[in-house]
């Protein structure tokens, strides 16, 4: 029997999910923007605000969805998974309470403390901005300043890296934040591990390194991510033996402490001289990290989704005990290719993006690379930018260098009115990461 899958969200991450399942199911999608890549893959597409739980569940019911995949964190925070589960559509995404792991940074750290999750940095939570400023003055070291809620990857300010202590205090005083978390600044190299989670099990994907800074050479303000790369195995070139496993142990501890969690658990880590520390958790696929991992996943993603749902059903019907091995999440197989993802973003992104600009994408010029549409809106007269990243290209190869060359060749699709970080995945930048970690470990 053909499964009917509803995809919620219209960005690059969701385009990657759509491409991973479209050949194996009847796919329907809904989002606030019209993503042309998703629309072409889907049997039906409806323009719906992703945070409108009632509208999403009405559409899911109308198309007869058997299960749903929720892409954006805003939908999780709005309880869309809760609403879908309530009407009998299995949502591969955590309910709002478990999604607090991402949506509430104070909860995230307090949960880690209470559950003894390894890798938690020193932190303090403040409801009083002046008290937070006093803490900055008295703390022996640099701090990361984090608003408690969702900020699209752009709200964090790091003292000693992005801002001075005085600038951090001015940032807090000029903000309207009700609560903030101040954490010790972690020094090292960031990487991400994403896991598929259901029924107390997890299956992990290759480590990814994202590039948050807007400009080449890791300069400029933070963004939602300008691009990313993976290597041919699970680890990355700057990681030592055991670093990947240590990160997976952290994710496994989270799953043990949150037995009802389902969906994707994304761990963003800082590899320090003392091993991986947790920068944050996300409750969904990363963007762009989904575009690195899903194209090299050889296990059908639909098999992961149905196993998650059917294992949940078996557990419920058998009062917590599974009835067959078929209810377990499948072991994951990957192609062994390296990947490099590079984003094209509107001029002025992230501080003053050129939103509403008409852009042309020459799809024929992409070649063997993959093209993922992201924050664009397809209208009757063409394709228009929004306030975020426009589209990405992903190269694959038997080395990071080969994948980077394929991605770079594909960037002729970018056209005008967009900007790209061309240095992502290059040999020089990867070597700088390796040298940085070697220096820290001396």
* CATH number of the domain within which 291 lies: 3.30.470.20
Give the pLDDT confidence score for residue 161 in this predicted structure: 86
Based on the fold, state whether residues 138 and 84 are members of the same structural domain. no
Q: Are residues 368 and 244 in the same domain?
A: no
Same domain, yes or no, for 130 and 40?
no
Cβ neighbours around 60 below 10 Å, total: 26
Asked if residue 105 belongs to a domain, the reply is: no
**Residue 41 pLDDT > 80, yes or no?**
yes
C-alpha 396, offset from chain centre = 19
What does the pLDDT average to over 263-287? 97
Considering the domain boundaries, does residue 103 fall inside one? no
Residues 223 and 289 in one domain: yes
pLDDT of residue 164: 94
Same domain, 180 and 201: no
Q: What is the mean pLDDT of residues 273-295?
A: 97
Asked if 225 contacts 309 with a C-beta cutoff of 8 angstroms, the reply is: no
Residues 204 and 315 reside in one and the same domain? yes
The CATH number of residue 392's host domain is: 3.90.600.10
Q: In this predicted structure, what is the pLDDT of residue 123?
A: 95
What CATH number does the domain containing 164 carry? 3.30.1490.20
pLDDT of residue 316: 59
Helices 105-114 and 96-103: angle between axes, nearest 10 degrees: 100
- Please give the mean pLDDT across all residues of the chain: 94
Domain limits for position 229: 189-327
Round to whole Å and give the CA distance between 112 and 70: 25
Arithmetic mean of pLDDT, 27-39: 97
Residue at 99 is within a domain = no
Based on the domain organization, do 196 and 291 belong to the same domain?
yes
Q: Give yes or no for residue 212 having a pLDDT over 70.
A: yes
Position 34 scores a pLDDT of 95
Residue that terminates a domain, selected from 138, 159, 184 = 184
Statement to judge: residues 202 and 294 lie in one domain = yes
Domain count, the chain: 4
Q: Which two tokens stand for residue 110?
A: 């307090």
Share of the chain above pLDDT 90, in %: 85
- pLDDT digits 0-9 by tens, 374-419: 999 999 888 999 889 999 999 999 999 999 999 999 998 887 789 9
**Last residue of some domain: 47, 73, 93?**
93
Residues 171 and 228 in one domain: no
In a shared domain, residues 176 and 214: no
pLDDT tens digits for 301-322? 999 999 999 997 765 555 444 3
Residue 341: pLDDT over 80: yes
Share of the chain above pLDDT 70, in %: 96
| Domain shared by 323 and 246, yes or no | yes
Q: Label the pairing between strands 67-70 and 90-92.
A: parallel
């Amino acid at each position: 029997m053909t499964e009917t899958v509803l995809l919620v969200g219209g960005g690059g991450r969701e385009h990657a999910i759509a491409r991973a399942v479209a050949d194996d199911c009847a796919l329907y999608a809904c989002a606030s923007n019209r993503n042309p890549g998703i629309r072409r893959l889907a049997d039906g597409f409806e323009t719906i605000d992703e945070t409108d739980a009632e509208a999403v569940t009405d559409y899911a019911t109308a198309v007869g969805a058997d299960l749903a995949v929720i892409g954006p964190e805003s939908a999780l925070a709005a309880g869309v998974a809760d609403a879908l589960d309530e009407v009998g559509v299995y949502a591969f995404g955590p309910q709002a309470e478990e999604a607090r792991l991402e949506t509430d940074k104070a909860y995230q750290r307090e949960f880690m403390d209470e559950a003894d999750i390894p890798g938690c940095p020193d932190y303090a939570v403040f409801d009083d901005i002046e008290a937070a400023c006093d803490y900055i003055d008295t703390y022996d070291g640099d701090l990361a300043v984090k608003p408690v809620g969702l900020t699209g990857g752009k709200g964090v300010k790091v003292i000693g890296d992005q801002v001075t202590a005085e600038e951090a205090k001015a940032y807090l005083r000029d903000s309207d934040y009700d609560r903030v978390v101040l954490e010790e600044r972690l020094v090292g190299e960031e990487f991400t591990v994403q896991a598929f989670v259901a029924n107390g099990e997890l299956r992990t994907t290759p480590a990814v390194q994202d590039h948050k800074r807007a400009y080449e050479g890791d300069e400029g303000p933070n963004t939602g991510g300008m691009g990313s790369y993976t290597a041919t195995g699970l680890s990355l070139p700057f990681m030592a033996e055991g670093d990947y496993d240590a990160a997976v142990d952290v994710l496994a501890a989270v799953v043990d402490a949150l037995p009802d969690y389902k969906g994707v658990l994304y761990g963003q880590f800082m590899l320090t001289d003392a091993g991986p520390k947790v920068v944050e958790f996300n409750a969904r696929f990363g963007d762009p990290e989904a575009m690195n991992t899903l194209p090299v996943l050889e296990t059908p993603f639909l098999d992961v989704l149905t196993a998650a749902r059917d294992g949940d059903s078996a557990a419920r019907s058998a009062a917590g005990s599974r009835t067959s091995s078929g209810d377990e999440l499948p072991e994951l197989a990957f192609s062994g290719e390296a990947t490099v993802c590079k984003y094209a973003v509107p001029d002025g992104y992230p501080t003053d993006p050129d939103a509403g600009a008409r852009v042309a994408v020459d799809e024929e010029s992409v070649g063997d690379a993959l093209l993922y549409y992201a924050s664009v809106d397809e209208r009757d007269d063409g394709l228009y930018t929004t306030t975020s990243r426009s589209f990405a290209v992903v190269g694959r190869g038997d080395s990071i260098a080969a994948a980077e060359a394929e991605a770079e060749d594909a960037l002729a699709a970018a056209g005008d009115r967009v900007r790209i970080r061309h240095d992502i995945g290059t040999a020089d930048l990867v070597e700088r990461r390796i040298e940085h970690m070697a220096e820290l470990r001396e």
